[in-house]
Amino acid sequence: MSTVVIVDTDVVSFLFKGDTRARAYRPHLQGKTLALSFMTVAELYQWAYSRNWGKQRLARLEERLRTYVIVPYDGELCKQWAMICVKRQRLGRPISVQDAWIAAAALRHGCPLVTHNRDDFANITGLTVISET
């Protein structure tokens, strides 16, 4: 049985665009079940719409998204999100709404998070971060 990893928006973007930074993350993804938080899916659509992508490029994004397991919202995920936000606020290191949802998905399902933005996920108890930064 393969291990599940949550892939952060930045790494998905690198893979989608063929960015050279994707190369460093491939070993962390190979042989794994790749999952995305619903928040990453929303961020990717925001990116596409803000750049006025045409139908073909949007279709390519949707095709690529079908290769991932999408982690939906549930009550436990919401509790994790709230705890992350409160703990980071108390540390004086607020976290973005988007990053908190992505971290919550990883914690909720006990999966490591593959990200290029290690610092965005610092000081989150129990979160395993895989990063090449």
Q: In this structure, what CATH number is given to the domain that contains residue 34?
A: 3.40.50.1010
pLDDT at residue 1 above 50? Answer: no
Burial 31-55 (b: 16+ CB within 10 A, else e): eeebbbbebbbebbeeebeeeeeee
Check residues 127 and 2 and name the one with the higher pLDDT: 127
Helix locations, the chain, DSSP H = 9-17, 22-29, 38-50, 55-65, 75-90, 97-109
Whether residue 84 contacts residue 100, with contact meaning beta carbons closer than 8 Å, is answered with yes
Q: How many angstroms separate the CA atoms of 123 and 106, rounded? A: 14
Tell if the pTM clears 0.75, that is, is over it. Answer: yes
Name the token pair of 50.
């803000």
Full domain range(s) for residue 114: 4-130
Q: Which amino acid is at 74?
A: D
- The count of other CB atoms within 10 Å of the CB of residue 123 is 13
Structurally, the chain folds into a number of domains equal to: 1
What distances in angstroms separate CA 120 from CA 27, 29, 72, 95, 107, one per listed residue? 22, 20, 22, 7, 15
Q: pLDDT of 32-84, one tens digit each?
A: 999 999 999 999 999 999 999 999 999 999 999 999 999 999 999 999 999 99
CA angle, 81 then 85 then 87, to 5°: 115
